[in-house]
Amino acid sequence: GQSLEQPSEVTAVEGAIVQINCTYQTSGFYGLSWYQQHDGGAPTFLSYNALDGLEETGRFSSFLSRSDSYGYLLLQELQMKDSASYFCAGDSNYQLIWGAGTKLIIKP
């Protein structure tokens, strides 16, 4: 089957850098995407990796290694507003296969 695993919770300090990992088992994904969800809100798209390597969007970067079935989201210069849940999702044709989410707790 297809599944994605990510840590349930990560804690970091404001201003620091944090990495959220995602490992997957799949018969084939078109790409790996990341979404952010604040408490009580809807998921919003952050980034998409179709190819191996690093994609950078402002303070957020995402990495994919297909050979290792592994990706990560890197958040730099953490701000309190980055406190949220982060989901990796594998692009499987018309469906996204979702991880269970990582709750990012930021301490001042």
The nearer residue to another protein, 2 or 17, going by C-beta atoms, is: 2
Structure-block tokens of residue 63: 């990495």
> CA-CA distance, 41 to 44, in Å (whole number)?
9
Residue 87 as a binder of another protein (CB under 8 A): the answer is yes
Order of strands across the sheet that contains 3-5: 3-5, 18-25, 70-75, 60-65, 53-57
CB of 15 to another protein, least distance (A): 28
Q: Pattern 41-60, binding to another protein, x per CB under 8 A?
A: xxxxx--x-x----------
Residue 27 as a binder of another protein (CB under 8 A): the answer is no
Stretch of 15-23, 59-67, 74-82, 95-103 contacting another protein, by CB under 8 A:
95-103
The DSSP secondary structure of 96-108, one letter per residue, reads EEEP--EEEEEE-
Catalog residues that contact another protein under the rule CB under 8 A: 30-31, 33, 35, 41-45, 48, 50, 87, 91, 93-96, 98-101
